[in-house]
Each structure stands twice: as C-alpha cells, then as structure tokens.
Amino acid sequence: MNYELLLREHKLKVTPQRLGILTLMQNAGHLDVEELFVLIKKQFSSISLATLYKNINAMLENSLITEIKIPRHKSKYEIAKEPHIHLLCQKCNEFIDVSVNIDSLVDEVSMKSHYQLMDSSIVLCGVCEKCQAL
C-alpha cells in the first residue's frame, strides 16, 4: 500500500511519523493507542504521545482511519476500508475482520424503524477456533 499517496489523497502532509503509524496499523490490522505508541517508539524513540493523538485525530477527521469501539476493551484503530464486521475472541483477545453481507439485516431494521441507515458498527464476541480446541 502506498501510504504517501494515501495521506495526500486525504489532504494530510506526509511525515515519517505518519508513515510509521500507517505501516504499523496495516501490519497489525488493528491497534489501540497504547500498542501503537509502544511500537512507534521503536522507530521514533522521541515521538510524543501528543503527536500520536494529534495524528490519530487528524486521520480520523479525514476518514483515513476508523475507530472501533469494543465492549469491555479499549478502542482500536484501523485503516479505513470497505464496510465489514469484527470478531473478538474472549479467551485470547484475537480481533479479526470478517466480510459478510449485512443487507438483509439492514433492510429488516430499516423496514421496522423507518430509519435511513448509513453506517454500522458490529462486533461479535465468542471463542475462536484455536481456543475452542484447548
């Protein structure tokens, strides 16, 4: 993925710190602020938490990344992509994406509520395959 282009497309200046943040997010899939700070410090030992927060907020405002609020956990951040849902393993805390078509759910809810729906935040919790085997 070309992060320089990605930043420019979202009207954000390209800085080494931002490239590092995006690379880490992409590699990990989802990271919370603390995880991100620990990792980014390895590359930029003098980076400050303030800079991290400012960049996260700038990228959120420009919809370059999205925040995922998770029951009983800290928010995680991911590079914005097509709509999808999230799965959380309650044993090992694995957190993954799943692509699934939610049109029928949205249609049904739309019908019942008369809401015009535009966005969804879906997190399902359970036990992953590996943890079931234990």
Q: Which is nearer to DNA, 74 or 91 (CB)?
A: 74
Q: Give the up-direction half-sphere exposure of residue 22: CA atoms within 13 A in the CB hemisphere.
A: 22
- With contact defined as beta carbons under 8 Å apart, do 33 and 74 qualify? yes
CB of 6 to DNA, least distance (A): 12
x/- mask, its own copies, residues 56-95, rule CB under 8 A, reads -----------x-xxxx------------x-x-xx-----
Partner whose binding site includes residue 80, from DNA, its own copies, none (CB under 5 to 8 Å by kind): none
Q: Which residues lie closer than 8 Å to 69 by C-beta, 6 or more apart?
A: 75, 121, 123
- With contact defined as beta carbons under 8 Å apart, do 70 and 88 qualify? yes
Site residues for DNA, 28-57, by CB under 7 A, read 33-34, 44, 46-51, 53-57
x/- mask, DNA, residues 69-108, rule CB under 7 A, reads -----xx---------------------------------
| Residue listed under structure tokens 């709509």 | 83
Q: Answer positive or negative: Cα dihedral of 36, 119, 101, 69.
A: positive
**Count of CB atoms situated within 10 Å of the CB of 37:** 17
Q: If binding is defined by CB under 7 A, does position 8 make contact with DNA?
A: yes
The residue ranges that bind its own copies (CB under 8 A) are 67, 69-72, 85, 87, 89-90, 96, 98, 100, 102, 104-106, 108-110, 112-129, 132
